[in-house]
Every structure is written in C-alpha cells, then in structure tokens.
Structure 1
Amino acid sequence: MVRRIAPILLTLVVVALGVTALAARPQTPPSEKSADYVVVVGVAGLRWDDVDPQRTPTLWRLARDGSIGSLSVRSAQRPTCPVDGWLTLGAGSFAAWTGSRTDGQCPPVDVTVEQPDGIGANLPDQENVVLHNQNRLSWGTVPGALSESVRCSVAVGPGAAVAAARPFGRVDRYEPDLPADPAELLGSCVLSLVDAGTVEGEDPVARASAARAADAQLARVLAGRPPRSLVIVAGVSDTERPSRLHVAIADGPGWEDGWLTSPSTGRRGYLQLVDLAPTALAALGRPMPDRPFIGRPAESVGGRPADLSAAIAEPADADREAAAQREVAGGFFVVLAAVQVVLAVAVLPLLRRARRHAGPYGPKPVPRRVVATVELLLVAAALAVPAALLAEAAPWWRYAHPAASFVGLTAALLAAATLLVRLAPGYGTTLGPLGAVAGLTALAVGLDVVTGSRLQLNGVIGYSALEGGRYAGLGTVGLGVFVAAALLSAGWLAQRVPRGWRPTVMVLVGGVAVVVVGSPYLGADSIGAIALTAGVSVAAAISAGGWLTLTRLAWAAMAGLAVTVGFAVVDLGRSPSDRGSLGRFLAALGDGTGGLTVQRSSASSYETLVNSPLTVLALAGALLVWFALLQPWGGLMRLFGIYPAIRAAMAGTAVAVVIGGVLGAAALDVAGAAAAVVVPMAALSALRVLDHSADRTRPSVDRPSDGGRGGEAPADTEPAGSADTTNDEAGTPGGAVPPDGDGGAGAKDAVGPDPGAAPEAGRGHGRVVRSSAEVATG
C-alpha cells in the first residue's frame, strides 16, 4: 500500500513546490501621479558612446541629475527604423510602418504631414498603417494608443507626429520645428513629443556633429519645460543593421540619480521602447488603455555609481557586449554541433567493439589509450556549454579581437573543468564522470541564476538585450542545460541510496530545481517550471524500477496540468499589468485575441527550428540514442537495467525538454541544449558498462534468502590487473541486473535480459569476480 501511495504523495509535493514557486511574485506598487507634464525627446540612433561632457553637455547634465538606462528598441520589424520606433513609442506595443525594405536596411523617412488649420496636423497614411498593424502583423497593435489616452498632445517634427497621431490620423498640436522659445508650446498639453533628429552611421565626425545638434535642441526643451514636468530622452530606434542598445534618460520629481528599470525587463538599468508610453501615462496619473500595453511603467532604482563617467560606462559596455555576443554566439553553436556530431560518429565503432570477450577468440579490443582519449573528449563536449557560460565572467568583448578572446578563455576553462572531472574521486567508475559533469553543470548554471543571471545577460550562452525577448532569469539554452544537469544529478544521487528512497531523492532535488527555474526572483521561467514538474514526476515514478507506462505518464501529465491550472488561477487573479505570460495568454483567449499569440509562437518556433544549430544537436543526439545506444550492442539498455535511477533521469529530461520547447515556442533549442550534456554522458557510460558486460558476480554462501534485497557477503579478492574494472556494473549471467536492488525485483519487468549478452556459463572464466555487497555499493 505504501508503494502504491508513494507516487501520488510525491507528485503532490512536486505540484505544491511548482505552484508555490510560480505564485510568489514581487508586488508592484500602484503607480502614483508624479508629474503634471511629460515631455519625450526622441533622437533616433543615439547611443551612450555619443554622450560626452564636451560634445553633449546638456545630455551629460541631464544624465547626472536624472536616472539612466539602456533602451532596447524592439518593434514589429527588424531593424527598428526611425519611423517604426516612433510608431511603437506612440502605440505602447510592437508596431511597424508600412512599406518594404531592401536587405533589411532602413529606407529614407517619408512621412506626409498635412497642416490644414495651422494648429494641428493630419497623417493621411495613418489609416493604412492601422490596418497594416491590425490585420497583417501578429501583435494586434493600435497605433496612437498613447495620444488616445490623453486629452491633448503636442508633436514637434515628423517623427513625433507619427507617435502622436491618433488612430484616425489627427495630431492635436503640431510644429515642424522646435521654436526658439518652446515654453508656451510645451505647456499647452500634458504630453509633448519632440523629434530632435537622427544620429546615424559609424563615422565618428558625423555622429559627433549630429549628437551636438540634438543636444542643442534638448537644451531649448529644458529651458522651456513646464514646471513639475518629467523629461524623457530616448534613442527611439536603430538606423541600420545591426541593432544596438540606445540612450534612455528620465529627469523629474522622483527620478533623481538612479537606474531606470521596468517590470517588463526585470533587470536594473534596462527598459524597452514599449515601456515609454505606459511610463508617461503612469507619471501623469492617467489610466491605461482598454487593450493593455505590452510595456510596463518604468521606475528609478538606486545603486548607481556616484561618478557619472563610471555610471555611463556600464550601459556603453553593455552595448559593446551585446554586439560582440551577436557575432560570436552563432559560430560557437555551429562548432559545438559539428564537434558533437563528429564525436557521435567516432563513438560508434567503439560501441561495437566495447564488449569484452572472455574466451581466447574474438575481435581485438580497442586500445585502452584510445578509449580513454575518447572518454575525455566526451567529458569535454558535455562541459562546453558551462565553460562558455563561465567565460562571461571575464570582459572578453573589450579586447581588440573579441571572438579570439572568447575562444581562448572558453578553451582554458574547458580544459580546467575536464581535468577536474578526470581527477575527481570515482572517475574510474561507470557513473563517476556522469555525476561529476552533471554536478558541475548544475552548479555553474544554478549559481548564475541565484546571483542574478549576470552571466547569461548578453552572453553567448544566454540571451541578448538587443533581441528584446528576455532580460533576466534562465534563457533557452540555460533552461535545457540546467534541466538535464539537475535531473542527472538527482539520478546519480538516487542511485546511491536504497531503492525505496530513490523517488524521494528525485523529488527533493527536482523540487529545488523547479523552484530555481520558476521563481520570479530566480529563473523567472514559468513554462520551464511546468515542463520540469512533469519531468520530475516521470523520473520519480520510474526511479525505483519499471518503464514509463501509460499510468505513470498520466501522473506526470496530471502534475504538469495541476501546476499550470494552479498558476493560471493565481495569475488571473492579479491586475492586468501584473500578470505573467500565462495569465496574459488566458486573458487574450477570453477577449478573442489569443489567436495572435498562437500565431506568433508558431512563427517563432518555425524560425528557430530551421535556423538554429541546436536543432542539429537535438536531431543528432536522438539519432545516436535511437539507432546506436538503444540497440542491443549499444549498451544503454544494459545501463538502464543496472541503474534505473539514471534511466529515470534521462526519461524525465526528455519529457521536460520536449514540453518546454513546445510550450515555450523554442522548437528543439531546449532539447538541443540538453542533448549537449546528456548524449555525451550516455555514450561514455554505455562504453563503460559494455566494457564490463562479461563480468560475473560470485554467489555468496553467507547470503540470506531475502530475495536478493538485503544480504551482505564478504568481499572477494580482486585479481591483479583489474583496477580499471568497477564494481557497480558487474552483470549477472545473461545480462540480467545484479541482485542488489539496483533493479532486482523491479528490473526483470523493466528491461529483461540483455539480448546482446552471451548466456554461456563459462563466459566469465578469468574475469573479475565481485561480491554481492560490492555490487550493491557501486
């Protein structure tokens, strides 16, 4: 009865941990009115390396007195051209202007602004722009939502007119150029938008001249700003490929001397272009529109260096890091996929010849030195991702040759980590390398998440602020690697305890991993937590023996569904601005716009599937496992029979990464990242268990008749020259599992006899002899 109830109780524990982790969320204080006027000054293309106390003294003083941050200018198209940036600013959601682009470059800004009455203006193209964003793009954006939320707005310049135009094209007050004394104009409406020009190109002289001109316009704005006003300066767009991070400054009551941040980024010093519209409305104390903005109101937090030069150096350095990451990341994953495919091909002949022959005749075994070398290469391949993650601790992007610096640093860390695994106690055992690699990987990723995921932000293994998808927590690659490492570590630990305690160990370790992944304070990945909950439930159910039956799969599905439902209920109970991705999606289903989310997810999954090198990793790993490792000569079935906890960990990993990839619109990226760790370790462990497939266990005369579960026997003497043979994979005749509880009673219906093992009674002649006690403590 206890064994029947245990899976139910453990599943409930996993569900409770998952819902608790996801439900805990920082409380966002209600927005309060902090200004009577808001003035947004946009300078397309303005970056932090354009800001200088000599060239741009006004920007410098504003940054000193106000709050600063890095602005991600994502829109509905890439790159975000100036007209797209202004339109996104006014919409509060991802938007794009109509028209085609050549080679992804920004066309000249051509916006028709009519002034029939000399006071306001009209954009005749606005109706087509609204239809384009509503019907042809997948965000359902309403251009002009910001101006519709206030009674009156002012626009200066064509870019500002695009942002201030209402959905039917009307601009309340418009001036093509900023007056010499703009005080009256800026005080006529609560919201003013000013187009201060464009800073473009890579020519330092041209950029300096354009930045100086924008600074002069900003000086006039500040001279005429209304009393009790909030002034926001933003580099509203890119001007060409590749994308960059841009300037964001806020100056006004309550915005003094701090870092800008936003709940949409969850990262100090970062905010998005779509955050500016809700920030303006929140500062004015106005309600948000009926269809919520994608962005969230920005806020100012402390911790900024007292020296302004040091403070500005941080966002400028982040821009350089993000640019270098874009250049290096693609090449790294291509090389990683190629190396792992080559290793997969190289390990095939070793698997075919790994099984020892006890008799005098048989194929010549592969030299030990070759096998040892391949094993070290497999260890290094599995550690490549955590080594690249740790390389982000050094500022490799600041050197003259960033790619070479990253490669050299990663190679050094990879060599050190591989040596550490090689010298670790227990490396000679079958599961020694697997446990060491899994532990190091989980430790590296877990520590990064606990300390704020600083290594993943703009990192090769993480995510880029330029993409605008994630700014904090676990990225796609980090999720796949951490899920695999955590479950393999749990399996390695569970294999070292009695069979009855293995599900408990799986739940304890897996529950901690669920909290790390799902907590908004840590991994901030609700989809990943739901997927990992299902994976932990599967692993716990089969860790003591047996295969993944329909009943156990149903329990895992129910666990994931229970976490999803519990989190959805909690999330829907929050205000619309505080909901997570799941709550927003369910709310969208309620108002009929959920199809847009499904469309975006499908498009993102397809693009990732066909363009990501991790797809190759996932497919190559699946082919190696299915057509080689799981074959009778591949060794993985034997490994699973002797070590059911490892089989459980790998099965749970497969379930978790598939669910995470599908629900997270990441296609096979999560599975590919997990395969980079799991597949090399599976191949290495299979090689070792095959190497001892002919070993035999001598029956003990002192062994009590307890069904092979609790007896101990004196250890037999180990013959000379067998130091490389481990005591944890010694098989019984016919390839059956050892009678020690590592699959004893439960293993016969789990794996059965290994069809690749020879049944001859004399097969073990001259081989290493082990006691049952030694086998049990393997």
Structure 2
Amino acid sequence: MLRRIAPILLTLLVVVLGVMALAARPHAPSQGPSADFVVLVGVAGLRWDDVDPQRTPTLWRMAREGSIGSLSVRSVHRPTCPLDGWLTLGAGSFAAWPGSQADGQCPPAEVTVERPDGIGANLPDQDIVVLHNQDRLPWGTVPGALSESVRCSVAVGPGAAVAAARPFGRVDRYEPTLPEDPTELLGSCVLSIVDLGTVAGTDPAARASAAREADAQLARVLAGRPPHSLVIVAGVADTERPSRLHVAIADGPGWEEGWLTSPSTARRGYLQLVDLAPTALAALGRPMPDRAFLGRPAEPVGGRTADLPAAIAEPADADREAAAQQEVAGAFFTVLAAVQVALAVAVLPLLRRARRHAGPYGPKPVSPRMVAIVEVLLVAAALAMPAALLAEAAPWWRYAHPAVSFAGLTGLLLAAATLLVRLVPGYRSTLGPLGAVAGLTTLAIGLDVITGARLQLNGVVGYSALEGGRYAGLGTVGLGVFVAAALLTAGWLAQRVPRGWRPVVMVAMGGIAVVVVGSPYLGADSIGAIALTAGVSVAAAISAGGWLTLTRLAWAAMAGLAVTVGFAVVDMGRAPAERGSLGRFLTALGDGTGGLTVQRSGASNFETLVNSPLTVLALAGALLVWFALLRPWGGLMRLFGIYPAIRAAMAGTGVAVVIGGVLGGAALDVAGAAAALVVPMAALSALRVLDHAADRTRPAGDRPGDAGWPDDPVARHYGDGGPDAGRSDGAAGTAEGDAAAAVVEGGPEAGAGPGRVVRSSAEVATG
C-alpha cells in the first residue's frame, strides 16, 4: 500500500511546493506621491552619457534633486524610432506608427498637424494609426489612451502631438514650439507633454550641441511648471541601431534623491517607456483605462548614493553593458553551437570503438590519452554557460574591445572550472564528472538568483534590458541550464541511496528548485516553475526503475496542471494591477482579448525558433541522442539501465524544458540551453560505461563487494579504488540484484532479453 500511494503523496508535495512558491508575492507598493499637474518631457535619443554638469546643467540639477533610472524604450519594432516612442508614450502599450521603419532604420519623422482653431490641433492620419495598431499588431493598443483618461491635455511639438492625440485625432491644446514663458500653457491642463527635440548620431560634438539646446528649453519648462507638479524627463526613443538605454528623471514632491523603479521591471533603477502613462495617471489620482496598460506606475525607492557623479555613472555603465551584450551574445552562442556540434561529431567514432571486446579479435581501441582529452573537452563544453555567467562579475564591457575581454575572461574561468572538476575526488567514477558539473552549475546559478540575479541582467547568457522581456529573476537561458543542472544533481544524489529513497531525494531537490525558479522573490518565472513541477513529477516516478510511459507522462501533466490551477485561483484573487502573467491571461480570456496573447506567444515562438543559435544546439543534441547515444552501440541505454536515477533526471529535464519553452514563447531556447549541459555529460558517461561493457564475473571472493576489491570498474581502470558514486543501489559493498535486475530495473536494453546472454550481477552493478 505504501508503494502504491507514495507517488501520489510525492506528487502532491511537489504541487503544494509549486503553488506556495508562486502564490508568495511581495506586498503591493503603496500609492506613490501625488501631484496636481504632470509634465512629461521627451527628448528622443537622450542617454546618460549626454548628461554633464557643464553642457546640461538643468538635467544635472534635476538628477541631483529627483529620482533617476534607466529607461528601456522597447516597443513593437526594434529600434523604437521617435514616432513609435511618442505613440507608445501616449498609449501606455506597445505601439507603432505606420511606415516608421525603413530596413530596420529610422526614417525622418514626418507628422501632419492641422490647427483649424488655433487652440488645439488635429492629426488627420490618426484613423490609419488606430487601425494599424488595432488590426495589424497583436497588442490591441489604443493610441491616445493616456489623453483619453484626463479631461484636458497640452502638447508642445509634433512628437508630443502624436502622444497626446485622442483616438479620433484631436489634441486639446497645442503649440508647435515651446513659448518663452510657458507658465500659462503648462497650467491650463493637468497633463502636459513636451517635445524638446532629438539627440542623435555618433558624433560627440553634434550630440553635445543637441543636448545643450534641449537642456536650455528644459530650463524654461521648469521655470514655468505649475505648483505641486511632477516633471518627468525621458529619452523616449532610439534614433538608430542598435537600441540603447535612455535617461529617465522624475522631479517633484516625494520623488527626491532616489532610484526610479516599476513593478513591471521589479529591478531598482529600471523602468519601461510603457510605465510613463500609468505613472502620470497614478500621480494625478486618475483611474486607469478599461483596457489595462502594459506598464505599471513607477515609484521612487531609496538606496541612492549621495555622490551624484557616482549615481549617474551607474545607469550610464548599465547602458554600455547592455550595448556590449548585444554585440557579444550572438557571437558567443554561435561559437558555442558550432563547437558543440563539432564535438558531437568527434564523439561518434569514439562511441563506436569504446566498447572493449572480450574476445581476441575486435577493432583497435582508442588510446586512453585520446579518450581523456575528449572527456576534458566534454566537461569544458558543459561548463561554458556557467563560466560565461560568472564572467559578468567583472566589468569586461568597459574595455576598448569588449568581445575580446569577454572571451578571455570566460576562457580563464572555463579552464579553472574544468580543472576543478578534473581534480574532484570522484572524477574517475562513472558518474563523477556528471555530478561535479551539475552540482557546480546548480550552485553558481542558484546563488546568483538568491542574491538578486545581478549576473543575469544584461549578461551574455542572461537577458538584456534593451529587449524588455525581463529585468529580474531567471532568464530563458538560465532556466534551461538551471533545470538541467538541478535535476541531474538530484539524479546523481538519488543514485547513491537505496532504491526506495530515490523518489524522496528527487522530490526534495526538485521542490527546492521549483521554489527558486517560481518565487517572485527569486527566479520570478511562474511558467518555468509549472514546467519544472511536471519534470520533477516524471523524474520522481521513474527514479526507482521503469521508463517514461504514457501514464507517467499524463501523471506529470496533471501535476503541472494542478500547480497551474492552484496558482490561477490565487492570482485571480488579487487586484487586476497586481496579477501575474497567468492572471492577466485569464482576464484577457474573459474580456475576449485572449487571442491576442496566444497570437503574440505564437509569433514569439516562431521568431525565436528560426533566429536563435540555441535552436541549433537543441536539434543537434536531439540528433546525437537519438541517432547515436540511444543506439545499441551508443551506450546511453546501458547507462540508463545501470543508473535509473540518471535516466529519470534526463527524462524529467526533457519534459520540463519543452513545456517551459513552448509556454514561455521561447521555442527551443530553453531546450537548447539545457542540451548544452546534458548532452556532453550524457556522451561522457556513455563512453565510460561502454569502456567496461565487456567486463565479466570474477570468481567468488574476487567480485565487487568482496573485501579488497574496488567497487567501480572505471575506478579500477584509472587506479582508483574508491567507491563508485553511481552503483545501482548506492549501498556500500552491495551489487543490486542479479540477472533479473537487469530486466526489472533497466529494461531489456540493459542486457537481458530473448536471444541474449544474461549478464552477471557484477555486470548489472558496474557496467
């Protein structure tokens, strides 16, 4: 009875842990500082490198007195051109101006503004803009939603007119240029939007001149600002490729000397362009529109240093890091994919010749030195992602050649990590390298997530603030590597305990990983936690023996569904503004806009599938496993038969990464990141198992488990008499089962079946 109900109890435990991890959420921030007036000032292209106490004294003074942050201007297109940026500002959601992109570059901004009454203005093309965003783009954006939420708004300049125009094209009050004394104009409506021009190009002198002119106009805005007002200065758009982070400064009562942040980023010092519209409405005390903004109201937080140059240097440095990350990340993943594919091809002949024949004739075995070199290369390939993550601890992007600096630093860390694995006492055992690599990777990523995921943000193997998809927690690549490493570590530990305790070890390790991935305080990835729950359920179900059957797969799917339903119930009980991605999706289904979410997810999956180098890693890994490692000569089936906990860990990893990638809109990126760790370790372990596939039973008294005889044939081969970390039952001096154990625990592929020689207990236990 206990054996029958144990899987049910363990699955329920995983479900409870998953729901608890996802349900815990930081307290919603209190209402931010209020204001009677809000003035949004936009300068397209303005970056923190352009802010200087001599050239831009007004901006410098605002930064000293107010709150500052890095602004991500991500919208529909990349780069976000000025008209796209202004439209996104006024819509509070991703928007695009028709024809704003020309081969990925920004064409000259041309806006037709009519002034029939001399007070307000009309945009005759607004109906085309609305149709383009409502019907052709998957965001369901309403241009002019910010102006529609207030009774009256002021626009100064053509860009501001684009942001302030209501859906039918009307701008309440409009001036093409800023008056010498804008006091009366800015005080006529509670919301004012001001366009101070553009800072563009790469010429330092030209940028300095444009920034100086915008700063002079900003001084007039501040001189004429209404009393008890909030002034927000933002670099509302890019001006060319590549995208950059831009200036964000908020100055007003309650916004003194802090960092800007937003619940949409959950990262101190970062906010998005779509956050500015809800910030303005929240400051004015106005209700949000019926169709919710994508952004969330920004707020000031403490912790900023009193040294203003040092404070401004932080977002400026983040901009340089994000720009360097864009330059380096593509090359890194391309090189990694090419190296791993080449290594997979090189392993094939070794797999063919790795099995030593017992008879006098057979193919000439590969030299031990060559095998040792390939093993070290496989370890290095598996550690490439963790090494690249740890490289973010040093400021490689500040050097003249960031790509060279990153490559050199990653190479040094990779060599050190590989040497550390090589010197681990259990390295000579069959599962020694796998356990060491998985454990180190789990530790590196887990510690980074627990300490705030600082190495993930703008990291080469993390996520970029310029992409706007994530600013805190665990990224797509980190999720794939962490899931694989955590489950392999759990499998390695489970293989060292008696069979009956293996599911418990799997659930314990897997439950901790679910909390790390899903908790809003840590990984903040609800979809990843749901996927990992399914993977842990699969791993626990088959860790004590057996294969991934349809019933067990359905059981894992039910566990993931149970976590999803439990979290959905909790999430839907929150206020609309506090709901997570799952709650927002269910809300969209209720109001009939859920199809847009599905369309966006499908488009994201397709774009990622055809453009990401990680797709190559996932497909190459799958081909190597299916057409080589799982063949009778490939060794993986034999490995699975002897070490069922490792089989369980790899099966659970496959289930988790596929679910996480598809539901998260990342296609095969999660699977590709996991394959970069799992496939090299699977190949290395298969090589070691095949090297001893022909070992035969020793006479009584000389068999494994007897006094004085090393437990692991691989250890004997390398001259290490220590116990094998991966014996079938993990008990000292015990070989699990007899010939029947090969069928019961590992299946027919492990060595027993019709027409085949039944292996001895020593073979079953040691391979």
- Normalised to the residue count of structure 2, the TM-score between the two structures is 0.95
Task: Summarize deviations over 1:259-278 as a string: whole Å, max 9, x none.
Answer: 00000001000000000000
Q: What does 1:81-230 correspond to in 2, within 5 Å?
A: 81-99=81-99, 101-230=101-230
Indicate the residue corresponding to 1:401 in structure 2. Answer: 401
The verdict on how the C-alpha distance between 1:120 and 1:548 changes in structure 2, with shifts beyond 3 A counting, is same
Indicate the residue corresponding to 2:478 in structure 1. Answer: 478
Question: In the alignment, does 2:517 pair up with 1:517?
Answer: yes
Task: Summarize deviations over 1:66-122 as a string: whole Å, max 9, x none.
Answer: 000000001112211111111100000000111253221111111111111111111
Contact map agreement 1:644 1:743 (CA 8 A) in 2: no
Indicate the residue corresponding to 1:301 in structure 2. Answer: 301
Task: Summarize deviations over 1:433-472 as a string: whole Å, max 9, x none.
Answer: 0000000111111111111111111110001101111101
- Which residue identity is paired with 1:194? V
The verdict on how the C-alpha distance between 1:457 and 1:603 changes in structure 2, with shifts beyond 3 A counting, is same
Task: Summarize deviations over 1:607-647 as a string: whole Å, max 9, x none.
Answer: 11111111110011001101111111111111001100000
Structure 1 CA distance for aligned equivalents of residues 174 and 757 of structure 2:
96
The verdict on how the C-alpha distance between 1:246 and 1:758 changes in structure 2, with shifts beyond 3 A counting, is same
Indicate the residue corresponding to 1:315 in structure 2. Answer: 315
Indicate the residue corresponding to 2:238 in structure 1. Answer: 238
Task: Summarize deviations over 1:474-525 as a string: whole Å, max 9, x none.
Answer: 1110000000000000000000011100000000000000000000111010
Indicate the residue corresponding to 1:735 in structure 2. Answer: none
Task: Summarize deviations over 1:117-140 as a string: whole Å, max 9, x none.
Answer: 111111111111011100011100
Indicate the residue corresponding to 2:267 in structure 1. Answer: 267
- Which residue identity is paired with 1:420? L
Q: What does 1:602-613 correspond to in 2, within 5 Å?
A: 602-613=602-613
Structure 2 CA distance for aligned equivalents of residues 192 and 699 of structure 1:
92
In the TM superposition, what is the alpha-carbon distance from 1:754 to its structure 2 partner? Answer: 3.9
Indicate the residue corresponding to 1:560 in structure 2. Answer: 560
Task: Summarize deviations over 1:529-565 as a string: whole Å, max 9, x none.
Answer: 0000000000000000011122211210110000000
The verdict on how the C-alpha distance between 1:32 and 1:385 changes in structure 2, with shifts beyond 3 A counting, is closer
Structure 2 CA distance for aligned equivalents of residues 698 and 627 of structure 1:
34
Question: In the alignment, does 2:744 pair up with 1:748?
Answer: yes
- Which residue identity is paired with 1:211? A
Q: Which moved more, 1:468-477 or 1:545-554?
A: 545-554
The verdict on how the C-alpha distance between 1:502 and 1:730 changes in structure 2, with shifts beyond 3 A counting, is closer
Aligned with 1:260: secondary structure?
strand
Q: What does 1:321-340 correspond to in 2, within 5 Å?
A: 321-340=321-340
Structure 2 CA distance for aligned equivalents of residues 398 and 236 of structure 1:
25
Structure 2 CA distance for aligned equivalents of residues 386 and 184 of structure 1:
58
Structure 1 CA distance for aligned equivalents of residues 96 and 625 of structure 2:
45
Aligned with 2:377: secondary structure?
helix
In the TM superposition, what is the alpha-carbon distance from 1:410 to its structure 2 partner? Answer: 0.3
The verdict on how the C-alpha distance between 1:465 and 1:605 changes in structure 2, with shifts beyond 3 A counting, is same
Indicate the residue corresponding to 1:64 in structure 2. Answer: 64
Q: What does 1:584-733 correspond to in 2, within 5 Å?
A: 584-698=584-698, 713-716=706-709, 722-724=717-719, 728=724
Structure 2 CA distance for aligned equivalents of residues 465 and 72 of structure 1:
6
Task: Summarize deviations over 1:195-230 as a string: whole Å, max 9, x none.
Answer: 011100011111001000100111001101111000
Contact map agreement 1:499 1:741 (CA 8 A) in 2: no
Structure 2 CA distance for aligned equivalents of residues 278 and 213 of structure 1:
29
Indicate the residue corresponding to 1:286 in structure 2. Answer: 286
In the TM superposition, what is the alpha-carbon distance from 1:364 to its structure 2 partner? Answer: 1.2
In the TM superposition, what is the alpha-carbon distance from 1:725 to its structure 2 partner? Answer: 7.5
Question: In the alignment, does 2:343 pair up with 1:347?
Answer: no
Indicate the residue corresponding to 1:706 in structure 2. Answer: none
Aligned with 2:197: secondary structure?
strand
Contact map agreement 1:698 1:771 (CA 8 A) in 2: no
Q: Which moved more, 1:6-15 or 1:689-698?
A: 689-698
Contact map agreement 2:85 2:236 (CA 8 A) in 1: yes
Aligned with 1:107: secondary structure?
coil
The verdict on how the C-alpha distance between 1:33 and 1:322 changes in structure 2, with shifts beyond 3 A counting, is closer
Structure 1 CA distance for aligned equivalents of residues 681 and 119 of structure 2:
71
Indicate the residue corresponding to 1:369 in structure 2. Answer: 369
Indicate the residue corresponding to 2:55 in structure 1. Answer: 55
- Which residue identity is paired with 1:72? S
Structure 1 CA distance for aligned equivalents of residues 402 and 702 of structure 2:
66
The verdict on how the C-alpha distance between 1:92 and 1:743 changes in structure 2, with shifts beyond 3 A counting, is farther
Aligned with 1:426: secondary structure?
helix
The verdict on how the C-alpha distance between 1:510 and 1:741 changes in structure 2, with shifts beyond 3 A counting, is farther
Contact map agreement 2:55 2:212 (CA 8 A) in 1: yes
Structure 1 CA distance for aligned equivalents of residues 142 and 725 of structure 2:
64
In the TM superposition, what is the alpha-carbon distance from 1:755 to its structure 2 partner? Answer: 5.8
Question: In the alignment, does 2:380 pair up with 1:384?
Answer: no
Contact map agreement 1:474 1:525 (CA 8 A) in 2: yes
Aligned with 1:105: secondary structure?
coil
Structure 2 CA distance for aligned equivalents of residues 204 and 581 of structure 1:
42
Aligned with 1:43: secondary structure?
strand
Contact map agreement 2:481 2:677 (CA 8 A) in 1: yes
Indicate the residue corresponding to 1:412 in structure 2. Answer: 412
Question: In the alignment, does 2:532 pair up with 1:532?
Answer: yes
Question: In percent, how many aligned pairs have the same letter?
Answer: 82
Structure 1 CA distance for aligned equivalents of residues 61 and 612 of structure 2:
44
Task: Summarize deviations over 1:309-354 as a string: whole Å, max 9, x none.
Answer: 0000000000100110001000000110011111111111111111
Indicate the residue corresponding to 2:731 in structure 1. Answer: none
Contact map agreement 2:742 2:752 (CA 8 A) in 1: no
Contact map agreement 2:430 2:726 (CA 8 A) in 1: no
Q: Can you give the 5+ residue segments of structure 2 that lack an aligned partner in the other structure?
A: 729-733
Structure 2 CA distance for aligned equivalents of residues 760 and 181 of structure 1:
95
Structure 2 CA distance for aligned equivalents of residues 694 and 542 of structure 1:
27
The verdict on how the C-alpha distance between 1:731 and 1:111 changes in structure 2, with shifts beyond 3 A counting, is closer
Indicate the residue corresponding to 1:487 in structure 2. Answer: 487
In the TM superposition, what is the alpha-carbon distance from 1:757 to its structure 2 partner? Answer: 11
Aligned with 2:119: secondary structure?
coil
Aligned with 1:696: secondary structure?
coil
The verdict on how the C-alpha distance between 1:58 and 1:760 changes in structure 2, with shifts beyond 3 A counting, is closer
Indicate the residue corresponding to 1:12 in structure 2. Answer: 12
Indicate the residue corresponding to 1:442 in structure 2. Answer: 442
Contact map agreement 1:637 1:751 (CA 8 A) in 2: no
Contact map agreement 2:491 2:506 (CA 8 A) in 1: yes
The verdict on how the C-alpha distance between 1:262 and 1:493 changes in structure 2, with shifts beyond 3 A counting, is same
**Aligned Cα root-mean-square deviation (Å):** 2.4
Contact map agreement 1:545 1:746 (CA 8 A) in 2: no
- Which residue identity is paired with 2:564? T
- Which residue identity is paired with 2:261? T
Contact map agreement 2:244 2:319 (CA 8 A) in 1: yes
Indicate the residue corresponding to 2:432 in structure 1. Answer: 432
Contact map agreement 2:325 2:458 (CA 8 A) in 1: yes
Contact map agreement 1:234 1:249 (CA 8 A) in 2: yes
In the TM superposition, what is the alpha-carbon distance from 1:721 to its structure 2 partner? Answer: 7.3
Q: Which moved more, 1:692-701 or 1:341-350?
A: 692-701
Aligned with 1:103: secondary structure?
coil
Indicate the residue corresponding to 1:507 in structure 2. Answer: 507
Structure 2 CA distance for aligned equivalents of residues 42 and 602 of structure 1:
34
- Which residue identity is paired with 1:748? V
Aligned with 2:86: secondary structure?
helix
The verdict on how the C-alpha distance between 1:461 and 1:756 changes in structure 2, with shifts beyond 3 A counting, is farther
The verdict on how the C-alpha distance between 1:183 and 1:424 changes in structure 2, with shifts beyond 3 A counting, is same
